[in-house]
Structure 1
Amino acid sequence: MSTEFNLTRLGQFIKRQLYMNISSMWIAIAAIVGVLLVISALVAVFNPDAVYNLVPLYLVVLFLGGFIFTSRVFNEMHSPQKSYAFLTLPVSAVEKVVGALLIVAPVYLITAMAGIFMLSFLSTMVAGQTANLPELTDSTFIRTIGSFLVVQTFFFVGATAFKGNNFLKTLLALFLIALVIGAYSAGLGYLLFGGNEYRAQPGTELKGTMEFIFKEVVPFLFWFVLGPFLMVVSYFKLKERQV
């Protein structure tokens, strides 16, 4: 199987995956939009002033739906009846990763954003309020969407690593990782500053170092390193399955 990156093969793979997933995706989106439409209509009728507070709800649903959709993007690979056909496609692992990423990022995100704008517009119209659609250039909104794009790479790895119940298994893995990091940080903090015999006070140098780490290093790692790193992990996991 060729390992080169080919745009023609990539396009064919994207078309195939959209065809394989489009029906279930649209059914799920239609069901979610229907529920949100009912909620929005009830709020607009009984509490018109609260329609502007519905956007955070829409974003929560966007996040949750995106994570579930991302977790299922390689579902075919884990199905005994379909895995052989998927793994033997004349498409390299990198093309599969890039193609799947384009489906779960731009395709899903644009569809979900269109739904948010439609729901926001309809709810304000029913409530008799001035339409107040989300600002695409608003820094908070941009950071929210950016956070979604970064965090969903965890579920992308889960889609390649776990067989069945990918979404729940990825959540469990994230919980265990957070638990281990939290326990390690708490233990380290206790050893440094909370011992019974010796209580060290953080000096100016240590305080400055910690502020630099949490204000500069951690945000840089989150925004620019974490996502690409997890995509590389996904590539190697997918390549393992194809060998």
Structure 2
Amino acid sequence: MSTSKSINQFSLDRFLLVLKRTIVLNQRMWVIGFLSVGGFLLVVGILPFISNMFNITRPGFAAVREPAIFFYMLGGLVLTSMIFSELHTPTKAFQFLTLPSTTWEKITAAWFTGTVIYTVVTMASIFVLSAMIETVKGINTGVWSPFFIFNPFTSEIFSTILLYTFYQSIYLLGAVYFHKNNFLKTLLVIIGFSLGFIFFFNIGFLIFGLAQSEEFFINIQIGSQPWFVYAKYIIGTGLTMLFIWLSYLQLKNKQVA
């Protein structure tokens, strides 16, 4: 009886083994993705200093900072959408389904890989990228100030990471649920849900006569105060946990089936 309980309970040791396996299985794709995106951004960042064909008003890392953040979001969602590709491959699915670990250990390993590990590696990579670009800029221009090094410990980056974590939980569910084209199918679901929400939101305003109420829009402006921001984070955290829970249920159903 105690052995059965221990198997069904969450085990840190088993979680770490599944986590290591998840990283090993996806490391090739990660390396290719990081080198491709990093190389592209590096070329874009240093090309103006070795060619006179470009006239950029924000030279150095500042020119590629926003694209780097964009690729952080996009790359993480793409990688998450493929993290359960083994599960949807008939010749390999049995290897995943018969792993001596619980469903929670599998789903949390996938989530931890796609959020914590991916974010730490990406932020460190952007930091190194910024140092490389700024060094090349200083060598070629002789101007070392300002030396724009990427700082991941800002409120803006923190908000970006939270937003990514929210969307990543949706793509985690899509990775378990859909068999093919997980990224595009999940994206279509998000777009469809957003359009539907906007549609019914506006219909509600029309029904209750709020669409033409000037006072209502003033209240919306007041709603952007700090308490509203806190409420947004609380709701976002709750929805993130909900999507992770739904991912767990979906994965559990696949294992039972």
Inter-partner Cα distance in structure 1 for 2:133 and 2:57: 9
Query: Counterpart of 2:28?
Result: 23
Instruction: Identify unmatched segments of 5+ residues in structure 2.
Output: 139-143
CA contact (8 A) 1:3 1:93 kept: no
SS in 1 for 2:40: helix
What TM-score, normalized to structure 1?
0.88
Inter-partner Cα distance in structure 2 for 1:210 and 1:3: 49
**Deviation string for 1:26-54 (max 9, x for gaps)?**
12221221111111112444437432232
Asked if 1:218 is matched to 2:256, the reply is: no
Inter-partner Cα distance in structure 2 for 1:112 and 1:241: 32
Instruction: Identify unmatched segments of 5+ residues in structure 1.
Output: none
Query: Counterpart of 2:15?
Result: 10
Shift of 1:220: 2.4
Matching residue's letter, 1:60: F
How many residues align? The count is: 238
Query: Counterpart of 2:246?
Result: 233
Query: How much is the aligned-residue C-alpha RMSD, in angstroms?
Result: 2.6
CA contact (8 A) 1:44 1:123 kept: no
Shift of 1:107: 1.9
After TM superposition, the structure 1 stretch with the greater mean CA deviation from structure 2, 180-189 or 32-41, is 32-41
Inter-partner Cα distance in structure 2 for 1:122 and 1:91: 42
CA contact (8 A) 1:192 1:200 kept: no
CA contact (8 A) 1:121 1:133 kept: yes
Inter-partner Cα distance in structure 2 for 1:108 and 1:122: 21
Query: Counterpart of 1:136?
Result: 152
Shift of 1:62: 0.7
CA contact (8 A) 1:76 1:86 kept: yes
Inter-partner Cα distance in structure 1 for 2:228 and 2:200: 17
From 151, 168, 188, give the equivalent of 1:152. Answer: 168
Matching residue's letter, 1:50: P
Any residues of structure 2 matched to 1:82-93 within 5 Å, and which? 82-93=92-103
CA contact (8 A) 1:40 1:123 kept: yes
Matching residue's letter, 2:159: R
Q: How much identity, in percent, do the aligned residues show?
A: 27
Shift of 1:233: 0.9
Matching residue's letter, 2:241: P
Any residues of structure 2 matched to 1:47-86 within 5 Å, and which? 47=56, 49-51=58-60, 52-86=62-96
What TM-score, normalized to structure 2?
0.83
Q: Taking structure 1 as reference, are residues 44 and 96 closer, same or farther at Cα in structure 2, changes over 3 Å only?
A: farther
Shift of 1:209: 11
CA contact (8 A) 2:44 2:64 kept: no
